[in-house]
Amino acid sequence: MEIKELTRAEEQLMHVLWQIKKGYVKEVIEHLPEPKPAYNTVSTIIRILETKGFVGHTAYGKSHEYHPLISKDEYQNFASDKLLTGYFDNSVKRMFSFFVQKEKIDVKEADEIMKLIEKLKDK
C-alpha cells in the first residue's frame, strides 16, 4: 500500500492515536491541546484518515473505536524520504549541512551523530 502525505491536522490526530494505541473520538479529543476542536471536526478527520488507510475501527453498536493501521515508524520513513528527496536531492550530507547551518543541531547531538557514523564504519 502506498502511504499518502498527511495534512497537519491529520498528522496531529495520528500522533494521538500512535500514543494511545486505540480510542474513541472523545478520547482522542482529550489528548489534544487547548483550544479543543469540535467533536464533529475530529470525527470527520478520523474518517478521512480511515479513507486514506491510516486508521481502522472496531464497531461497538453505533460507537467506533479507532486504531492506527500504519505505524509511526512507517510514516517517519515515508516523511523522511520525502524530505530527503524533495528538498535535499537525496543527499544526507546536504540535509545534515542544512541543519548545522540553521543551528538545529547542537554540539551534543553532533557528537552522538559522529558516534553513529563510527559504528557504521565498524560494520
Of the candidates 78, 117, 77, 79, the one whose C-alpha atom is nearest the C-alpha of residue 96 is 117
Residues 89-103: tens digit of each pLDDT: 988 888 888 888 888
CATH class entry, domain 8-68: mainly alpha
Q: Where are the domains of the chain?
A: 8-68, 72-122
66, 24 Cβ separation under 8 angstroms:
yes
- Over residues 69-92, the pLDDT tens digits come to 999 999 999 998 888 898 899 888
Q: Is residue 29 within 8 Å of residue 42, measured between CB atoms?
A: yes
Q: Is residue 1 classed as helix, strand or coil in its secondary structure?
A: coil
Q: Which helix (H) or strand (E) holds 94?
A: helix 92-101
Q: What percent of the chain has pLDDT over 90?
A: 59
